[in-house]
Amino acid sequence: MTRLLPILLLIGSNIFMTYAWYGHLKDLRSSPLLLAVIASWSVAFFEYCLQVPANRIGSGHFSLQQLKVMQEIITMAVFAAFCFFYMKQKITWDFLWASLCLVAAGFFVFRQMSAP
């Protein structure tokens, strides 16, 4: 369970991060830029509330490189869902190929699983 907790926290933080970075393109499109920036920063606060503990807890189980690659794989998965379900955009083959490259990175960084 302790190895799973950082992964769950990273998933949660990435949901906030993705919305903070891209949600304003849909929800605040006609709002002033400053309002979009402030709204995004407000959402990003909750991202950090999950990201920092995820990395602190995760560093006891994973190397720094493993945490980073794991974060990027989660980011792509969350972004794909956000893009398709929330933004109503198609997922392209090129995006899927790029995501597969990250999965390959995960293979290499985790193939000799050892704690830091």
pLDDT for res 112: 79
Query: Do 63 and 116 form a contact (C-beta atoms < 8 A)?
Result: yes
Per-residue pLDDT reduced to its tens digit, 65-87: 999 999 999 999 999 999 999 99
pTM score, whole prediction: 0.89
Residue ranges, the chain, pLDDT below 70: 114-116
**Calpha distance 92→110 (Å, rounded):** 27
